[in-house]
Chains A and B, each alone.
Chain A
Amino acid sequence: MPEIDRDVDAGAPGERARRAMTDGVNDGVVSRGDGESNDDSLLLWILVWSELVAFGVLFAALLTFALLHPREAAFARLHLSSGLAACNTLVLLTSGWQAAAALRPEASVSATRRHLVFAACGGMVFVAVKLWEYATEAAIASDPAAGAFFEIYFLATGFHLVHVAFGSILLSIVAAKPSRPNITLVTTLWHVVDLIWIVMFPLLYLG
Chain B
Amino acid sequence: MPPIVRNDAIDRAYVRLVALAAVAVAAAVFSKEGPTIVVVALVAVAKARYVVLDFLERRHRRGALTAALLAWPIFFLLCGAVVAVVAGHR
Residues of A contacting B: mostly: helix
Judged by a CB distance under 8 angstroms, whether A103 is at the interface is yes
Judged by a CB distance under 8 angstroms, whether B32 is at the interface is yes
User: Is B48 a contact partner of A199 (Cβ separation < 8 A)?
Assistant: yes
Residues in B neighbouring A90, C-beta threshold 8 A = 18, 21
Interface size on A, residues (CB 8 A): 44
Interface centre among A27, A28, A59, A100 (most CB of B within 10 A): A100
One of B61, B73, B80, B87 near A195 (C-beta < 8 A): B73
User: Is A32 a contact partner of B57 (Cβ separation < 8 A)?
Assistant: yes
Residues in B neighbouring A28, C-beta threshold 8 A = 3
A180 vs B18: C-alpha distance in the bound complex, in angstroms?
A: 27
One of B10, B21, B57, B87 near A66 (C-beta < 8 A): B87
Q: Which residue of A lies closest to B86 (CB)?
A: A67
One of B14, B25, B73 near A94 (C-beta < 8 A): B14
Contact A199/B44 with A97-B14, A191-B51, A206-B37 known, Cβ cut-off 8 Å: yes
Q: Which residue of A lies closest to B27 (CB)?
A: A206
Residues in B neighbouring A188, C-beta threshold 8 A = 56
User: Is B6 a contact partner of A66 (Cβ separation < 8 A)?
Assistant: no
Which residues of B in the span 55-90 have a Cβ within 8 Å of any Cβ on A? 55-57, 61, 65, 68-69, 72-73, 76-77, 79-80, 83-84, 86-88, 90
A74 vs B34: C-alpha distance in the bound complex, in angstroms?
A: 12
Residues of B contacting A: mostly: helix
A59 vs B76: C-alpha distance in the bound complex, in angstroms?
A: 7
A94 vs B84: C-alpha distance in the bound complex, in angstroms?
A: 29
User: Is A195 a contact partner of B52 (Cβ separation < 8 A)?
Assistant: yes
Residues in B neighbouring A166, C-beta threshold 8 A = none
Residues in B neighbouring A194, C-beta threshold 8 A = 51, 55
In the assembled complex, 16 residue pairs joining A and B whose CB atoms fall closer than 8 Å, in A order, are A30-B4, A30-B6, A66-B83, A74-B87, A90-B18, A93-B18, A93-B21, A94-B18, A97-B14, A97-B17, A100-B10, A100-B55, A101-B10, A191-B56, A195-B51, A202-B41
The chain B residues found within 8 Å of chain A, CB to CB, are 3-4, 6-7, 10-11, 13-14, 17-18, 21, 24-25, 28, 32, 36-37, 40-41, 44, 47-48, 51-52, 54-57, 61, 65, 68-69, 72-73, 76-77, 79-80, 83-84, 86-88, 90
| Among all A-B residue pairs, the 10 with the closest Cβ atoms | A70-B87, A97-B14, A100-B10, A203-B80, A100-B55, A191-B55, A29-B3, A202-B40, A199-B73, A32-B57
